């Protein structure tokens, strides 16, 4: 991706987001959160791509993929008033459809479009649900965005939990309570298969355990370095109850890192 194409992408993104602003020019709080998240994921993607020593054009493409990765969240929230995919739409698929409907493929090169569309459509899937036949040049950008997305979510959630117990969590995931009790099924799931399903979450402690499990799915050394630089794993561990199973989880994660 050239610098000019990236500037065009930024303008496209801002114009699209502006369509969701209220008469006072502000975005609804939930969409402002996603707008800021998108900017940070773009920055994370750039840092990961630089750490991988990718070419300048690929670094710009990675940054662009990060910028638009959650574009499907905007129509999702406008239509359903929720970010819960299970009750609304798959926001990755909705993102690709939105980009196609809004003419983004006409603004960027065909090869870049295929890699960006793949990154957006599959960034939110479980690893086991990602098609195995994705081309390597597409999978690289998908994996960069998956890492960049996880890093920002982990950072923002742990900040919010430390600040006020993550009081906005019920607005995002209404079925989750704010207490720090661990659901036995969640701990059993993470220790057995190294992942946690969103549908299994019942408490903010469960949510934090899911974030810890994401370290098993970080694809690149620069991603792990960014997590270490921001002390993310230690911050997650600090907010969880001290139990034998929690200690076992964190020992295993640290050993693998």
- Domain regions of the chain by residue span: 3-256
In the three-class reduction of DSSP (H, G, I as helix; E, B as strand; rest coil), residue 62 is classed as helix
Predicted pLDDT of residue 174: 65
Reply yes or no on whether the pLDDT at 216 is more than 80: yes
Reply yes or no on whether the pLDDT at 173 is more than 80: no
Residue 213 to residue 149: CA distance in whole angstroms? 14
191, two tokens? 């220790």
Which pTM does this prediction carry? 0.92
Predicted pLDDT of residue 171: 65
Q: Which of 71, 74, 2 is nearest to 42 (CA)?
A: 71
Reply yes or no on whether the pLDDT at 149 is more than 90: yes
Residue 246 to residue 148: CA distance in whole angstroms? 25
Do 212 and 250 touch, CB atoms closer than 8 A? yes
3: confidence class by pLDDT, cuts 50, 70, 90 = very high
The stretch 218-240 carries a mean pLDDT of 95
What are the pLDDT digits (tens) for 106-141?
A: 999 999 999 999 999 999 998 889 999 999 999 999
Do 69 and 123 touch, CB atoms closer than 8 A? yes
Reply yes or no on whether the pLDDT at 31 is more than 90: yes
169: confidence class by pLDDT, cuts 50, 70, 90 = low
Predicted pLDDT of residue 136: 93
What are the pLDDT digits (tens) for 64-116?
A: 999 999 999 999 999 999 888 988 999 999 999 999 999 999 999 999 999 99
């Amino acid at each position: 991706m050239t610098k000019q194409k990236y500037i065009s992408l930024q303008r496209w993104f801002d114009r699209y987001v502006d369509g969701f602003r209220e008469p006072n020019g502000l975005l609804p709080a939930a969409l402002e959160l996603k707008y800021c998240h998108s900017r940070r994921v773009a920055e994370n993607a750039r840092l990961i791509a630089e750490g991988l020593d990718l070419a300048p054009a690929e670094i710009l493409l990675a940054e662009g993929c990060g910028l638009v990765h959650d574009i499907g969240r905007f129509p999702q929230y406008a239509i359903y008033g929720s970010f819960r995919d299970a009750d609304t739409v798959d926001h990755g698929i909705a993102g690709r459809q939105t980009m196609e409907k809004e003419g983004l493929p006409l603004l960027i090169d065909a090869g870049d479009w295929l890699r960006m569309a793949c990154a957006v459509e599959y960034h939110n899937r479980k690893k086991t649900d990602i098609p195995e036949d994705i081309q390597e040049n597409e999978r690289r950008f998908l994996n960069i965005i998956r890492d960049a997305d996880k890093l920002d979510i982990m950072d923002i959630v742990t900040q919010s939990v430390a600040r006020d117990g993550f009081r906005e969590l019920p607005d995002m995931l209404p079925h989750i309570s704010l207490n720090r009790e661990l659901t036995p099924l969640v701990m059993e799931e993470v220790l057995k298969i190294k992942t946690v399903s969103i549908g299994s979450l019942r408490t903010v402690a469960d949510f934090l355990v899911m974030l810890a499990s994401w370290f098993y799915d970080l694809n690149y050394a620069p991603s792990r370095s960014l997590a270490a630089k921001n002390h993310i794993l230690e911050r997650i561990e600090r907010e969880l109850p001290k139990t034998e199973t929690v200690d076992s989880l964190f020992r295993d994660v640290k050993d693998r890192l």
